[in-house]
């Protein structure tokens, strides 16, 4: 009988899941919330997390552990009490710790190198079901910016892998078993599509925490999207590389420095910026300097502008 061409791929996927199984956790949060009549009401939330170091550190979405109360972490059939070490609401990332020094961390990949169309696996505990559970999909797009009620998430990975409440905080793996993102089910109107926070965003979050002992968010007050060929063609621009400013927060450093909606940022500190993550990375690198130099195109003319960097303590 002729060998099924999909069987080797199926076996490889099963092996990846088996190797990752003991590194993915279910997170159960129990707390108290006041109802409309100011009466205390018990609440219970379920999400996912994944191990990033053998000595008890995991990462999850901030919104998974945003309720105050007890945190129970289930890893490989074992139960642990979890504590939030630090959190970053702007990135929707939180760092957890359990008292265990023999955990199995997942290998972290490079989200800057992912390609649209590559196969990915989302692992987590969807809808509170016993897990981990697995869904297969592809990278549908990168560099997405999503705005919801009270939040803006930038530079997201878009995938058609099924991501439901409970999946939030779980890993998005490539076919090498590397984490390229952390899934989030924070977008209520998404149907048939899912989103993940790039792992490089999480790496920089960890680097900042390691260096300063707290979560910091440098910002200038602009919401941007990648320029791309279609927008560049529509605007009759000679370049398709850069970030289009779609919103400037009134009173922010960017606004007070003269940046306006419709401006195109093509360089930051002499480095080309093609993705939203490029600008955020440079802001994080230069936040101690307190100032960032931008090259901007407006009305087909390029000029340089220095903008103060505001730094907000999170966590």
Other Cβ atoms within 10 Å of 231 Cβ, number: 15
Does 272 qualify as catalytic in the annotation?
Answer: no
DSSP β-bridge partners for residue 94: 60, 87
Pick the catalytic residue from 63, 88, 90, 140.
Answer: 63
Q: Return the exposure string of 55-85: e unless at least 16 CB atoms fall within 10 Å of the residue's CB, then b.
A: ebbbbbbbbbbebeeebbbbbeeeebebebb
Q: How far apart are CA 90 and CA 171, in angstroms?
A: 19
Q: Do 183 and 199 contact (CB within 8 A), yes or no? A: no
Angle in degrees, CA 64, 279, 137, rounded to 5: 50
Pick the catalytic residue from 20, 23, 90, 92.
Answer: 92
**Phi-psi group of 131: left, alpha or beta (phi > 0 → left; psi -120 to 50 → alpha; rest → beta):** beta
Angle in degrees, CA 97, 99, 104, rounded to 5: 75
Q: How far apart are CA 136 and CA 266, in angstroms?
A: 36
Does 92 qualify as catalytic in the annotation?
Answer: yes
Tokens representing residue 105 in the block: 């961390």
Other Cβ atoms within 10 Å of 189 Cβ, number: 6
| 107-108 and 178-184 strand pairing | parallel
Pick the catalytic residue from 140, 168, 263, 278.
Answer: 168
Does 210 qualify as catalytic in the annotation?
Answer: no
Q: Do 236 and 218 contact (CB within 8 A), yes or no? A: no
Query: So which residues are the catalytic ones?
Result: 63, 92, 168
């Amino acid at each position: 009988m002729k060998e099924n061409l999909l069987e080797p791929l199926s076996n490889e996927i099963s092996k990846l899941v088996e190797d990752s199984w003991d590194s993915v956790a279910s997170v159960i949060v129990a707390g108290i919330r006041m109802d409309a009549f100011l009466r205390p009401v018990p609440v219970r939330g379920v999400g996912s997390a994944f191990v990033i170091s053998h000595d008890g550190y995991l990462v999850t979405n901030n919104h998974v552990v945003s309720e105050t109360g007890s945190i129970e972490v289930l890893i490989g059939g074992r139960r642990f009490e979890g504590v939030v070490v630090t959190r970053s609401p702007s990135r929707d990332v939180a760092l957890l710790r359990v008292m265990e020094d023999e955990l199995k961390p997942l290998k972290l990949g490079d989200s800057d190198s992912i390609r649209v169309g590559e196969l990915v696996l989302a692992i987590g505990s969807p809808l509170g079901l016993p897990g981990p559970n697995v869904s297969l999909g592809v990278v549908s797009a990168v560099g997405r910016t999503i705005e919801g009620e009270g939040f803006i998430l930038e530079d997201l990975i878009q995938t058609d892998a099924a991501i439901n409440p409970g999946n939030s905080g779980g890993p998005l793996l490539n076919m090498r078993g590397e984490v390229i993102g952390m899934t989030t089910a924070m977008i209520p109107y998404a149907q048939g599509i899912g989103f993940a926070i790039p792992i490089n965003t999480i790496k920089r979050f960890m680097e900042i925490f390691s260096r300063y002992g707290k979560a910091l968010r440098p910002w200038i007050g602009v919401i941007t999207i990648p320029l791309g060929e279609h927008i560049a063609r529509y605007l009759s621009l000679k370049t398709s590389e850069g970030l289009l400013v779609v919103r400037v927060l009134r009173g922010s450093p960017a606004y007070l420095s003269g940046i306006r909606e419709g401006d195109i940022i093509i360089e930051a500190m002499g480095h080309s910026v093609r993705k939203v993550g490029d600008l955020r990375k440079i802001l994080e690198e230069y936040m101690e300097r307190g100032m960032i130099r931008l090259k901007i195109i407006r009305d087909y003319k390029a000029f340089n502008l220095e903008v103060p960097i505001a730094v907000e303590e999170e966590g």
